[in-house]
Structure 1
C-alpha cells in the first residue's frame, strides 16, 4: 500500500492557512459530489473529467490569456498561473524557468489533505488527483502548451512534479 507523505513544512501564516482551507473545502465538495454520483451509478470519468477539463480551458482564457498578453512566453504565463500566494500554499519550487519550458515541484497538496481527512481510499485519492489535474491539462491545451506530470503526491511521491512546454 502506498504511503502518502503530505504535510506543509514551510509556510504556516494566516493567509496561506486560509487559502489552504479554501482549497480543501473545494476538494471536499469535489469528492462528495463525485461520491454521490458514483452511488447513483455514474462513472467519474464519464463526466467529471470533461467538466474539470472545461474549467481548465475557462481559466486558460480568463486567468491567463486575458491577463497576460505575452502568455506564450512561459516565464510570463507562470505569473498568473501560479501567483506568489499559491506558490506558498503548494510549497512550490521552480526547477526550470525558461521562455519555452517551466518545471516545478509542489511539496504540499491541500486537495490530497482534504481527501485524506474525508477518509478516501488510496485508489480514490489517486483517481481524484488525476481528475483534478485535468484542469491543468485544460489550461495547457487552451494556451497551446504540452503538459507533463512526472510524479504525484497522491501516488506516494515526495512531490507533484509538472512541466509545461511550448509546442514545437
Structure 2
C-alpha cells in the first residue's frame, strides 16, 4: 500500500489544471521511457540518459532565467517571482517559506509529475526514483543561475511536501 499522499487542493484554476495535464503527460513519457529501458535490462543506461537530458534542460532553463532576472548579482527573491509564476505556484501549490535576496525556500504541496506516475500504477520506490531523476532539472536550473540547491523531503518519499531551496554560493 502506498504511503504517498499527493492530492491537489487548488482545483478551480483553469490554467493550472491545463498545466498539470501537460506536465503529467510529459512525466508519463519520462516514466514509460525509463520503464522500457528497465524492462530491457538497461535500467542504469536509461537512468543515465534521462539524467543527462533533464540536467541539460535544467541548465539551459537556468541560464535563460538568469537573463530574465536582469542583473549581474542574483536576487533569490526576484528569481522566485520569475521562476515560480502565479500559475506555476497554483499548479504545484507552492508556499514560500523564506524569500530573501540570498535564499529562496519553498514547499510544494502537490506534484503533477508524481500524480502521473501514480496514475500509471507505479510503486512508491519507482516514484521516488523518477522524482529524484526529475529533480536533476531543478538542480541544474540552480547551476545555470549560479546558485546552490538543496532538495529536502519530497512527497514521493511519503512526506507531506517537497522542500526545495535555492541560495547564493557562500
Q: TM-score, normalised by structure 1?
A: 0.94
Contact between 1:2 and 1:155, CA under 8 Å: does it hold in 2? Answer: no
Q: CA deviation at 1:125?
A: 0.2
Q: CA deviation at 1:2?
A: 5.2
Aligned partners of 2:2 and 2:39: how far apart in 1? 25
Q: 2:123 matched to which residue of 1?
A: 121
C-alpha offsets along residues 141-160 of structure 1, whole Å, 9 cap, x if unaligned?
11111111111000000000
1:13 aligns with 2:13: yes
1:66 aligns with 2:63: no
Question: In structure 1, which of residues 71, 81, 84 is the aligned counterpart of residue 83 of structure 2?
Answer: 81
Q: Secondary structure at the match of 1:12?
A: coil
Aligned partners of 1:22 and 1:98: how far apart in 2? 31
Q: 1:160 matched to which residue of 2?
A: 162
Contact between 2:76 and 2:100, CA under 8 Å: does it hold in 1? Answer: yes
Contact between 2:7 and 2:110, CA under 8 Å: does it hold in 1? Answer: yes
Poorly superposed stretches of 4+, deviation over 6 Å: none
Q: 1:25 matched to which residue of 2?
A: 25
Q: What 5-or-longer segments of structure 1 have no aligned partner?
A: none
Q: CA deviation at 1:16?
A: 1.5
Q: What 5-or-longer segments of structure 2 have no aligned partner?
A: none
Aligned partners of 2:91 and 2:35: how far apart in 1? 26
Q: CA deviation at 1:10?
A: 2.7
Q: CA deviation at 1:109?
A: 0.4
Q: TM-score, normalised by structure 2?
A: 0.93
* Pairing 1:129-140 to 2, within 5 Å after superposition: 129-140=131-142
CA RMSD between the two structures: 1.4
Q: CA deviation at 1:17?
A: 1.1
Q: CA deviation at 1:11?
A: 3.7
C-alpha offsets along residues 125-154 of structure 1, whole Å, 9 cap, x if unaligned?
000000000000001111111111111000
C-alpha offsets along residues 50-77 of structure 1, whole Å, 9 cap, x if unaligned?
1111111010122x02322136111111
Q: Secondary structure at the match of 1:66?
A: helix
Aligned partners of 2:158 and 2:2: how far apart in 1? 6
Count of equivalent residues: 167
C-alpha offsets along residues 75-110 of structure 1, whole Å, 9 cap, x if unaligned?
111122111100000000000000000101100000
